[in-house]
Amino acid sequence: MTSVEHNKGGHVVTMRDVAKVAGVSVATVSHVINDKPGARIGEDARARVHEAVAELGYRPNALAKTLSQGTSRFIGLVADAIATTPFAGQIIHGAQDEAWKNGYVLLVANTDGNKAAEDEAIAMMLEHQVHGILYSSWYHREITVPAMLHQTDTVLVDCFAAGGGLPAVVPDEEQGGRTATEELLAAGHRRIAFINTTTPSPAQSGRLAGYRAALEAAGIDYDESLVFPASPEQEGGYAATSSIIGSGVTGVFCHNDRVAMGLYDGLRERGLRIPEDMAVMGFDNQDVIAAHLRPPLSTVALPHYELGAAGVRILLGLDPSSDTLPTRIACPAIPRHSI
Amino acid sequence: MTSVEHNKGGHVVTMRDVAKVAGVSVATVSHVINDKPGARIGEDARARVHEAVAELGYRPNALAKTLSQGTSRFIGLVADAIATTPFAGQIIHGAQDEAWKNGYVLLVANTDGNKAAEDEAIAMMLEHQVHGILYSSWYHREITVPAMLHQTDTVLVDCFAAGGGLPAVVPDEEQGGRTATEELLAAGHRRIAFINTTTPSPAQSGRLAGYRAALEAAGIDYDESLVFPASPEQEGGYAATSSIIGSGVTGVFCHNDRVAMGLYDGLRERGLRIPEDMAVMGFDNQDVIAAHLRPPLSTVALPHYELGAAGVRILLGLDPSSDTLPTRIACPAIPRHSI
């Protein structure tokens, strides 16, 4: 056993660990180790850094360290849409925080859903001997697992495999739909519409199941004619306005915040006030939109940060997981002023 | 000289290169190299992969390769807000595409603007012997360069250093402001307001300079009373509505798309149509918003993808750069239906 392996928790020693033991900043450790000329560092601090380096068995070259130990400090994260939604960013953020906490570094690759880019990303990660890979989607869906992923440990994030076979972590769509509907019920609404997406997905079926469960628990009969199909964007919510008004409901649960934003436009054009004339509930808690509509939108948050963090914990064996049933993460209510 | 160094362009050989020479997919190369049992690969393809490996001098262990060559295939990217805006995502996307094209891999770290997280990220990158670091901000601003960045080659992306000293790549705010104003002028507007941010920044001064330059070129006197300060969000645009209407303008250039979204709400509440009663121009081309307002918003795009790509090219010495003047990237007009 080398001194490295004595490190608490079995982690690889990093500059951060040295900084903690020496009681100095990471920047100071870096200056001392790299013997940066001109850096004004007291002899005392310098000595403490050298002592901590010796005590912890720190080696500044992470790559040499990886090779000599035969294990890598990398975790790969394959994401399909970093560039077009903040959702992927929040998954990355959660995964990074959890990885760092455990002494690992994230290798992130964006694929835009392109098969060739995806294979390249996975190949690159295998070449760097990653500890494992998080394979993530920016929206919750069933995927076909790329064959190359079977060459390392893999956790699916915000997606799951047809037929199971790999651990997965996904948002709890049904609980989210129930929570959204319960917010409307709690405000006294009894006749509640649901604008659902036309795209078959776990969100489509799960949020509908949650809507039905909440109504049932409140003793309200499910009325299929109050579920309106719409494209899951502003345009879909706007187009649904007449049907919603014609249905005689007093509250609407929208498939997502973009749909709610379009419905806002439609209701306003007809002179209806939110929430006085119509209560509106969203889903997603999408940045840039939800908090900034007029009035600010009550919604349910998709737990992207938590999905990324849980994915890392499962990969590192810190959280339990199953190869047959995805781990479900709760979607909390975010009350604002539209109900 | 080893066979590795014969590779075209002097790049390190990757699975992708092997796949290209062998005329097979990256997945096939990976299966052959890792001798994956059960993979159905023809003898012919298998032989071609082995030939390509020998010809190119490919070594499957990227870390060993890096150590033996003494140069790293990593480029670090420090970002401050991956999780809260799609802007950082687009910078990452552009940087990754350009890095991969040149045989490099991006190490991405999110710091949330937190100094300790930033130092840890840079330390981690130095430990992995990165070729250099892109230090990026999600909005264009002047920064104080973290001292640790001087230990490697650094390019600033969407930010610049007080007093220069490091190459930087930023959006051309003045050209963007000029382009936005020119779009309104081209539609026949002569009395044009500018809702500017209250936050001092290159965007505040640059877009104003562009607005003035466009008016001047059109022979229109600059009227300071037509520049309205507002917080750079929906709430700011909404609050400016009365002043805009009272000013007698027929067109408005908004500091960003969120301001335009708030102004839309304010104009609609007063029964005004866009663009018939008031033409509205945005800035940013922000995903989720710009294309989905009613009517879809004409705007100017912030070139985040191109900022990331240019940053990598400068770091690799493929594009020229200066330590005193940032490289400016053009902001193109995105015409839709609000003018």
* Tokens standing for residue B138: 């999600």
Q: List the single range of A24-38, A204-218, A234-248, B57-71 with lowest mean pLDDT.
A: B57-71
CA-nearest residue to A24 within chain B is B116
pLDDT value, residue B4: 31
Interacting residues of B328 by C-beta distance below 8 A, sequence separation 6+: B169, B170, B171, B172, B175
Question: What ipTM was reported for this prediction?
Answer: 0.80
Q: Model confidence at B163, in pLDDT bands (50, 70, 90)?
A: confident
Average pLDDT for chain A: 89
pLDDT value, residue A8: 41
Residues A335, A328: Cα–Cα separation, whole Å: 22
A75 within 8 A of A105, measured Cβ to Cβ: yes
Residue A86 has pLDDT above 50, yes or no: yes
Residues B61, B66: Cα–Cα separation, whole Å: 9
pLDDT (tens digit per residue) in B75-103: 999 998 876 777 888 899 999 999 989 88
Interacting residues of B267 by C-beta distance below 8 A, sequence separation 6+: B241, B245, B273, B274, B277, B278, B280
* Tokens standing for residue B322: 């200066």
pLDDT value, residue B85: 74
- Please report the residues numbered 221 through 280 in chain B whose beta carbons come closer than 8 angstroms to any beta carbon of chain A: 233-235, 238, 258, 261-262, 265, 268-269
Residues B218, B223: Cα–Cα separation, whole Å: 14
pLDDT value, residue A120: 85
* Tokens standing for residue B26: 């990256």
pLDDT value, residue A37: 65
pLDDT value, residue B254: 98
pTM (2 d.p.): 0.83
β-pair type (A333-334, A299-300)? antiparallel
User: Maximum CA pair distance of chain B?
Assistant: 78
- Please report the residues numbered 25 through 84 in chain A whose beta carbons come closer than 8 angstroms to any beta carbon of chain B: 25-27, 29-31, 34, 36, 39, 60-64, 66-67, 72, 82-84
pLDDT value, residue A181: 98
In the block, tokens 């959890």 appear at: A98
- What is the DSSP code string of B58-103? --S-HHHHHHHHT---EEEEEES-TTT-HHHHHHHHHHHHHHHHTT
pLDDT value, residue B9: 42
Which is more confidently placed, A261 or A62? A261
What domains are there in chain A, each with its CATH number? 3-68 (1.10.260.40), 72-171+304-330 (3.40.50.2300), 173-300 (3.40.50.2300)
β-pair type (B154-161, B168-171)? parallel
Alpha carbon of B215: minimum distance to chain A alpha carbons (Å) = 31
pLDDT (tens digit per residue) in A98-155: 998 988 888 888 888 888 888 888 988 888 888 999 999 989 999 999 988 988 999 9
Percent of chain B with pLDDT over 70: 90
Residues A283, A308: Cα–Cα separation, whole Å: 19
Chain B residues in contact with A289 by the CB 8 A cut-off are: 288-289
Interacting residues of B317 by C-beta distance below 8 A, sequence separation 6+: none
Phi first, then psi: give them for residue B79, nearest 5 degrees.
-125, 145
Residue A324 has pLDDT above 60, yes or no: yes
pLDDT value, residue A38: 65
Nearest by CB to residue B88, choosing from A89, A107, A265, is A89
State the distance between the two ends of chain A, measured CA to CA, in whole angstroms: 61
Residue B2 has pLDDT above 50, yes or no: no
Chain B residues in contact with A119 by the CB 8 A cut-off are: 25-27, 30
Q: For the residues B220-249, what does the mean pLDDT come to?
A: 98
B120 within 8 A of B142, measured Cβ to Cβ: no
What is the identity of the amino acid at B68?
Answer: S
B127 within 8 A of A35, measured Cβ to Cβ: no
Give how far the C-alpha of residue A91 lies from the chain's centroid of Cα atoms, to the nearest Å. Answer: 4
pLDDT (tens digit per residue) in A216-231: 999 999 999 999 999 9
pLDDT value, residue B278: 98
Coil vs helix vs strand at B301: strand
Mutation for testing the A interface, residue in B13, B35, B59, B92 having most A CBs under 10 Å: B92
Residues B160, B170: Cα–Cα separation, whole Å: 8
pLDDT value, residue B71: 58
Sheet holding B192-197, edge to edge: B227-230, B192-197, B251-254, B279-281
β-pair type (B299-300, B333-334)? antiparallel
pLDDT value, residue A15: 80
What is the identity of the amino acid at A106?
Answer: L
β-pair type (A168-171, A192-197)? unpaired
A164: left (phi over 0), alpha (psi -120 to 50) or beta: left
Residues A17, B124: Cα–Cα separation, whole Å: 12
Q: For the residues B144-154, what does the mean pLDDT come to?
A: 91
Residues B62, B40: Cα–Cα separation, whole Å: 26
In the block, tokens 């003047």 appear at: B325
pLDDT value, residue B7: 42
Q: Model confidence at A211, in pLDDT bands (50, 70, 90)?
A: very high
Cβ contact B62–A128 (<8 Å):
yes
pLDDT (tens digit per residue) in A176-189: 999 999 999 999 99
Q: Model confidence at B62, in pLDDT bands (50, 70, 90)?
A: low
Residue B168 CB-density burial (10 A; 0-12 exposed, 13-18 middle, 19+ buried) = buried
Cβ contact B15–A286 (<8 Å):
no
- Max mean pLDDT range (A64-68, B31-35, B256-260): B256-260
Residue B179 has pLDDT above 90, yes or no: yes
